[in-house]
Amino acid sequence: MSILLPTNLQQYPSPSLSPSTPLLSPSPSSAFSFLGTRRRCLRFVTSSVASLQSSVAIGSAPARAAVVVERDQIRLGLPSKGRMAADAIDLLKDCQLFVKQVNPRQYVAQIPQLPNTEVWFQRPKDIVRKLLSGDLDLGIVGLDTLSEYGQGDEDLIVVHEALNFGDCHLSIAIPNYGIFENINSLKELAEMPQWSEERPLRVATGFTYLGPKFMKENGIKHVAFSTADGALEAAPAMGIADAILDLVSSGTTLKENNLKEIEGGVVLESQAVLVASRRALTDRKGALNTVHEILERLEAHLKADGQFTVVANMRGNSAEEVAERVLSQPSLSGLQGPTISPVYCKQDGKVSIDYYAIVICVPKKALYESVKQLRAVGGSGVLVSPLTYIFDEDTPRWGQLLTNLKL
Ligand SMILES: Nc1ncnc2c1ncn2[C@@H]1O[C@H](COP(=O)(O)OP(=O)(O)OP(=O)(O)O)[C@@H](O)[C@H]1O
Ligand SMILES: O=P(O)(O)OC[C@H]1O[C@H](OP(=O)(O)OP(=O)(O)O)[C@H](O)[C@@H]1O
Ligand SMILES: [Mg+2]
C-alpha cells in the first residue's frame, strides 16, 4: 500500500484483501444469508464471518477505471448533503475559494478563483467511488468514508489529513447493562464465554469493510456482522445485535441508548480530509497545479486558524534586552521568535525610545497563559487579533505529495 501518510496521521487502514482478491463481490446475496427481517428503520443483512473475505466484499469496492478519460476540467467532489456539506464549502470560503452553486439542487458548480476546476456535489461514499473510477480527481470526505469505501486502494492519496471539521471516531459500543455490565475492554468482550461458532458476537455496523478487518486484526474469531443504514444504536435494545460499530462524536447517541465504548474498541479517528486520485495527479493536465493551489490555501488558513496575533508594549533599554525577557517565558517564542520594534515617543521636543512593541503568534489554547507571561515580564496594552493566513516558505504537505508521487 502506498497511500500518503503524513507523519501526524493515524495509520490509514490497509486492505486485508490479497492482490488477487476481486474487489467486486459477484453478488452480495451469494455471500450472505439475507434474514428477510425488514423493519421500519433497520434493514439487516447478516452474514457468518467464518469467511472473512466474503464479509469484506459487501464493502462493495468500485471498479477502477483502466485509463484516464480526457477532459478539460479538474473535478473536485464535495459532499452534496449531510453534516459535511456546509462545512466543506465554508472551509473553501475561508480559503478565498468561493463555490458558486446557483441552486441547491444543481450538482455542478464553479469556483471562479480556480477556472480549470469544477465542483461536483456527491454523497461522500460516491465521492470515493468516483475518485476510483476516474470520474472525480479530488474530493473532500471523512477519513472514515475514505477508509471504508476506498479499502486502502493505492490510487487514493490523502493530500491533507486534517481539515479540522467532521471530527469523530469509529468505535465499538456495547450495552452498559446485563451480561455486558462489567465488560470494559475489547479483550474482555472477546473472552466472554457466550460466543461460539454457533452463537457468535453479533455486531451491527454500516462499516462492513472496516469492521471485519478490525476484528480479524484483533484476533476475534466468533463474530457475525449485520448492516443497516442508520440508527444502529437501536440494534442491541431490539435484540438484533450484541454490539455496534459506528461513528461517535459527542457520545450523546450512545448514552441515550444505554451503550458504552470499550478500551481497545476504537477502529479509527476521523476528520475531513482532502483526497486525490494518484492517476489524476500524474496523468491529468493541470491537476497537480490545482492541488498545489488548494493545498497552499488550506495550509495557510488552517495554520492561522489555531493562532492569535498578540501585540504588547514593553519598557526596555534595547530590543535585545526586551527579547531576552520575552524569550525567558515558554509560551512567548511565536512561530519563529518575537518581532520586536522600537516605539518612538516625543518628549520635551526630543524623540526617544522607552518602549518596544512585541508581536507574536500564540496558539489559541495558550492565549491566557501567554498574556499572563507577557504581564509577568512587564508587557502592557496587550492587543489580540485573529490571524487569517500564514503562508510559509513552502507547504510541508506539498513536499510529501511530490515524494509520494515520485516527482
Ligand atoms: N456525529 C458526528 N459528528 C461529526 N461528524 C460526523 C458524525 N457522524 C458522522 N460524521 C462525519 O460526517 C460524515 C458524513 O456523515 P453524514 O451522517 O452526514 O452522512 P452519511 O453518514 O455519509 O450519510 P447518511 O447518514 O445520510 O447515509 C461521516 O462520514 C463522518 O466523517
Ligand atoms: O456521538 P454523537 O454526537 O451522538 O453522534 C453519533 C451519531 O451520529 C451519526 O449518526 P447520524 O446523525 O448521521 O444519523 P444516522 O444514524 O441516520 O446516520 C452516527 O452514526 C451516530 O449515530
Ligand atoms: Mg450518518
State residue 289 phi and psi, 5-degree precision.
-65, -40
Q: Of the ligands numbered here, which is closest to the C-alpha atom of 80?
A: 1
CATH topology of domain 307-386: Alpha-Beta Plaits (3.30.70)
The pLDDT of residue 53 is above 60: no
| Ranges in the chain annotated CATH 3.30.70.120 | 307-386
What number is the average pLDDT over the span 57-77?
73
Centre of ligand 2 to C-alpha 248, Å, is: 7
Determine the Cα–Cα distance for residues 310 and 371; give it in Å rounded to an integer.
Answer: 9
Q: Which residue's CA is minimally distant from atom 5 of ligand 1? A: 166
Residue whose CB lies within 8 A of the most ligand 1 atoms, among 122, 143, 164, 168, for a mutation test: 168
Quick one: cell of 16? Answer: 486485508
For 263-294, what is each residue's pLDDT tens digit?
999 999 999 999 999 999 999 999 999 999 99
CATH topology of domain 74-165+272-285: D-Maltodextrin-Binding Protein; domain 2 (3.40.190)
Residue whose CB lies within 8 A of the most ligand 1 atoms, among 41, 81, 83, for a mutation test: 83
Ligand 1, atom nearest to 206 Cα: 21
For 193-236, what is each residue's pLDDT tens digit?
999 999 999 999 999 999 999 999 999 999 999 999 999 999 99
Determine the Cα–Cα distance for residues 92 and 358; give it in Å rounded to an integer.
Answer: 32
The pLDDT of residue 27 is above 90: no
Which of 167, 185, 195 has its CA nearest to residue 271? 167
Pinpoint the alpha helices (H) of 257-366.
278-283, 287-305, 319-327
pLDDT band at 8 (very low <50, low <70, confident <90, very high): very low
For 167-196, what is each residue's pLDDT tens digit?
999 999 999 999 999 999 999 999 999 999
- Superfamily of the domain at 168-268: Periplasmic binding protein-like II (3.40.190.10)
Ligand 2, atom nearest to 252 Cα: 4
What is residue 42's predicted lDDT score, i.e. its pLDDT? 28
Instruction: Provide the b/e sequence for 253-287 (b: ≥16 CB within 10 Å).
Output: bbeebebbbbeebbbbebbbbbbbbbbbbeebeeb
The CB of 168 under 6 Å from ligand 1? The reply is: yes
| Ranges in the chain annotated CATH 3.40.190.10 | 74-165+272-285, 168-268
Ligand 2, atom nearest to 248 Cα: 1
The CB of 124 under 6 Å from ligand 1? The reply is: yes
Q: Of the ligands numbered here, which is closest to the C-alpha atom of 82?
A: 1
Question: 100-104, 299-303, 305-309, 399-403: which range is least confident on average?
Answer: 100-104
CA-CA-CA-CA torsion sign (19, 24, 30, 32): positive
Q: Of the ligands numbered here, which is closest to the C-alpha atom of 142?
A: 1
Quick one: cell of 213? Answer: 478487518
Determine the Cα–Cα distance for residues 310 and 68; give it in Å rounded to an integer.
Answer: 49
Question: What is the overall mean pLDDT for the chain?
Answer: 85
How much is the ipTM here?
0.96
Strand partners, 141: 273
Ligand 1, atom nearest to 272 Cα: 31
What number is the average pLDDT over the span 51-62?
42
Judging by DSSP bridges, how do beta strands 243-248 and 201-205 pair with one another? parallel
Ligand 2, atom nearest to 251 Cα: 1
* Distance in angstroms between the alpha carbons of the first and the last residue of the chain: 18
Centre of ligand 1 to C-alpha 144, Å, is: 9
Centre of ligand 3 to C-alpha 206, Å, is: 10
pLDDT band at 398 (very low <50, low <70, confident <90, very high): very high
Centre of ligand 1 to C-alpha 83, Å, is: 6
For 313-348, what is each residue's pLDDT tens digit?
998 889 999 999 888 888 787 777 889 999 998 888
What is residue 41's predicted lDDT score, i.e. its pLDDT? 26
Determine the Cα–Cα distance for residues 264 and 186; give it in Å rounded to an integer.
Answer: 5
